[in-house]
Chain A
Amino acid sequence: MTGVDAALLAWMVVVGMDLVSVGQFMLSRPLVAGLVAGAIVGDPVAGGTVGMVFELFALDVMPIGAVRYPDYGMGAVVAAVVVAGAPFELVVGVGVLAGLVVAVAGEIGSHLVRRANGAATAMVADRIAEHGASAVTRLHLAGLARDGIRAVTVGAAGLVLARSVRAWFGIDAQTALLLALVMVGCALGTAAAGSFRVSGTREHGGWLVAGLLVGVGIALL
């Protein structure tokens, strides 16, 4: 493992654990995660740009209650590694695809961690009164460790995938371009649908539409 890979893996663990279990400081937002990953591999602009594509996907997420959602931050890191230093329009499709696979793997991992936490709690719950604070501390720290293991596992697998996917650059330019358009189109469509689902209510829909009009004006300028 090179120093760059070690730094990327460490960043993926930070990103993965920030998603739910440690702090939720939004280091796991794709724009941030992708930018830092891009900086680590020497192409922060590509990392930040592909992070923005994942930020669009993430607008579909409302992390309330027991909702399961993809780990878009880890996905953005993997996508940033794939697209770094290559012609953006030809690699963004492959990069986003690899990132989405990792995002889903992160989501499945979170589900397994939650189930494992529940099973561990069920086994120990009756003994909290007997063992006191140490039982609660052990349960809690074990939960954190499980999420850490999830982040390391998904992160390592994601990096292997990213390095392998770069070999895909051999696909013909037409397919790469088509994939790029499909991925970017899906990101924009998902963001639009998510925004109207969350903010397009009678109460706030006017603000969303006003924003869209302003945004179109800025874009045309």
Chain B
Amino acid sequence: MFLIQGSWGYDRMIGIGLAFAMRPLLPTDGAGGVDRAALTRSAEFFNAHPYLAGAAVGALSRAEADGVEPAEVARLRGALSGPLGAIGDRLFWAGLLRAVSGLGMLLAVLVAIPVGAVVLLVAYNIPHIAVRVWALDVGYRDGPLVGRALGNPMLRHALDWAPRAGALAVGVALPVVAVFVLERFTLNAAVGALGVAAATAVVVRWLAPSFGGIRLALLAAGITVIGSVLWP
């Protein structure tokens, strides 16, 4: 399950990874190998959040093992893709990851950098691994009825609170990190950097996602270096 995105491609996304993860759970054919028709179906297009994809691995494997009609398996596959992606994106990418990133930076500044890094890793990976295990378990246990598990009150609660925690933690961390980095410079230089920051925020907010912060930073660095060479 931890390698499910190993063969990520634009056409099938994690489809091949899903089939790779499902191999041990799929029914066998007469010769003792994996049922090839089921395996072929498993390798079709699939997209979901990687941490919650285990629910699909479990549910689809269970459906195949129970002899559910291929058309029903395909329907289940299609029905799981969107919700598993949306829940994972909200829970982890918009929520937990931003929360631990903010918390990690905050602790790195206020306590010690290694403390911040360790807290980031531990605070992220305990729920991360727990969700992976839960998803696979509940998927295989509930099979085609796995959708009911996604209405779990604890998960609903987490979906509400994770993005709030992410927003709050990042909000607290930003000014603290800004002061931590800028206090190494003179006051005038720090004010100049804040001016660059304000201009960057406006431009990136305006042009994103086609022209993100990294492109602007590289452009600004190029202009700075060339300007310094031309007008020393």
Contact = CB atoms under 8 A, between A and B. Distances in A.
Interface of A: 20-27, 29, 31-32, 35, 44-45, 48-49, 51-53, 55-60, 62-67, 70, 88-89, 93, 96-97, 100-101, 103-104, 114-115, 117-118, 120-122, 125, 128-130, 132-133, 136-137, 139-144, 147, 171-172, 174-175, 177-200, 203-205, 207-216, 218-219
Given A21-B5, A214-B168, 20 more contacts: A22-B3, A26-B120, A31-B104, A49-B180, A59-B98, A60-B208, A65-B47, A88-B184, A97-B217, A100-B217, A132-B36, A136-B20, A136-B43, A174-B228, A181-B185, A183-B221, A187-B213, A188-B178, A190-B204, A215-B172
A199 to B, nearest CB: 4
Contacts of B192: 181, 185
Nearest to B15: A121
Contact of B23 (A136, A207, A209): A136
A63 to B, nearest CB: 6
Interface string B104-131: 1100111001101100110011001000
A211 B177 CA distance: 13
B213 A190 contact: yes
Given A29-B101, A52-B108, A203-B163, A186 B216 contact: yes
Contacts of B36: 128-130, 132
Contact of A219 (B178, B202, B216, B232): B178
Contact of B197 (A89, A192, A211): A192
B17 interface: yes
Contacts of A140: 3, 6-7, 16-17, 19-20
Contacts of B50: 24
A186 B114 contact: no
B171 A185 contact: no
Contact of A48 (B102, B108, B121, B202): B108
20 contacts: A20-B8, A21-B3, A25-B124, A31-B105, A31-B116, A44-B113, A57-B213, A60-B208, A65-B47, A66-B13, A93-B221, A115-B10, A121-B12, A136-B19, A136-B43, A144-B7, A185-B200, A192-B174, A195-B174, A207-B164
Contacts of B120: 26, 29, 31-32
Contacts of A60: 204, 208, 212-214
A215 B214 contact: no
A189 B204 contact: yes
A112 B199 CA distance: 33
Nearest to B218: A100
B98 A136 contact: no
B94 interface: yes
Contacts of B169: 211
B78 interface: no
B177 A52 contact: yes
A122 B208 contact: no
B166 interface: yes
A194 B177 CA distance: 15
A32 B10 contact: no
Interface in B70-109: 85, 89, 93-94, 97-98, 100-102, 104-105, 108-109
Contacts of A67: 209
B6 A22 contact: yes
B11 interface: yes
A177 B43 CA distance: 53
B225 interface: yes
Q: Which of B37, B121, B170 has the most CB of A within 10 A?
A: B170
Nearest to A199: B167
Nearest to A207: B167
Contact of B20 (A137, A171, A204): A137
Nearest to A216: B175
Contact of A133 (B6, B33, B214): B33
A132 B199 contact: no
